């Protein structure tokens, strides 16, 4: 059984752990978001901070990318968001992402891909007009030059993730 995403990605025959309950995940995300002003949370592996991966939002549509006023987001909001996006979140490379932007007093809540390839994550961030990609290991933002505003795309959601390396 895979203990982390990197192990799973390196051997796709490795079984995934049982997904965490929506309620437990929402409570963890709420706590992590307040502790770090953001979180990247896998329903299979939990908190992704510290992993040698890069988080990038590939789903900036209004249904999958929310902007919420303020820093405090109750667990119930995360529960509803997870339930509404359960299909996307069934892919272990996709996580719930939160990010508090103090200058705007806004919390971003979206679906993020976590990828081992820095350059691929940056390219995807630019393609989807993202402000930054997040280096989960170093704990730093990597600016991509985007505005974060949604731009229409012809790429269906199921085709946005790069093919896993073998």
Binned at pLDDT 50, 70 and 90, residue 106 comes out as very high
**Long-range contacts of 14-23, Cβ-Cβ distance < 8 Å, separation of 24 or more:** 16/44, 16/92, 17/44, 17/45, 19/43, 19/44, 19/90, 20/44, 20/46, 22/79, 22/82, 22/83, 23/75, 23/79
Asked if residues 117 and 54 have their Cβ atoms less than 8 Å apart, the reply is: yes
E strand or H helix that includes residue 10: helix 5-10
pLDDT at position 166 is 52
> Average pLDDT, stretch 69-85?
97
State how far the Cα of 138 lies from the Cα of 131, in Å rounded to an integer: 18
* Long-range residue pairs from 19-28, CB within 8 A, at least 24 positions apart, any chain: 19/43, 19/44, 19/90, 20/44, 20/46, 22/79, 22/82, 22/83, 23/75, 23/79, 25/78, 25/82, 25/96, 26/75, 26/76, 26/78, 26/79, 26/82, 27/75
Question: What are the tokens at 124?
Answer: 């995807």
Give the separation between CA 85 and CA 99, rounded to whole angstroms: 18
* Mean pLDDT taken over the chain: 91
pLDDT score for 31 = 97
pLDDT band for position 17 (cuts 50, 70, 90): confident
Query: Which pLDDT does position 44 carry in this prediction?
Result: 95
Please tell me the predicted confidence (pLDDT) of residue 5: 80
- Its pTM surpasses 0.85: yes
Q: Is the pLDDT of residue 32 over 90?
A: yes
Q: What is the mean pLDDT of residues 15-28?
A: 92
Residue 165: what pLDDT? 60
Given a contact cutoff of 8 angstroms between Cβ atoms, the answer to whether 97 and 111 are in contact is yes
pLDDT at 40 over 70: yes
Averaged over 52-70, what is the pLDDT? 90
Tell which phi-psi region holds residue 129, choosing left (phi > 0), alpha (psi between -120 and 50) or beta.
Answer: left
Report pLDDT digits (tens) over 138-155.
999 999 998 878 788 888
State the pLDDT at residue 164.
Answer: 67
């Amino acid at each position: 059984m895979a203990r982390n995403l990197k192990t799973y990605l390196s051997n796709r025959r490795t079984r995934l752990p049982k997904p965490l309950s929506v309620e437990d995940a929402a409570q963890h995300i709420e706590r992590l978001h307040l502790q770090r002003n953001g979180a990247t949370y896998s329903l299979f592996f939990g908190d992704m901070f510290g992993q040698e991966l890069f988080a990038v939002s590939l789903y900036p549509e209004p249904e999958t990318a929310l902007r919420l006023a303020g820093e405090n987001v109750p667990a119930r909001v995360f529960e509803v968001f997870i339930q509404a996006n359960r299909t996307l979140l069934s892919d272990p490379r996709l996580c719930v992402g939160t990010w508090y932007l103090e200058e705007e007093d806004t919390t971003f809540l979206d679906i993020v891909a976590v990828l081992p390839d820095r350059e691929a994550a940056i390219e995807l961030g630019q393609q989807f007009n993202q402000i930054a990609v997040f280096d989960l290991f170093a704990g730093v933002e990597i600016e991509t030059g985007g505005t974060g505003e949604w731009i229409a795309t012809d790429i269906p959601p199921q085709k946005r993730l790069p093919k896993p390396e073998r």
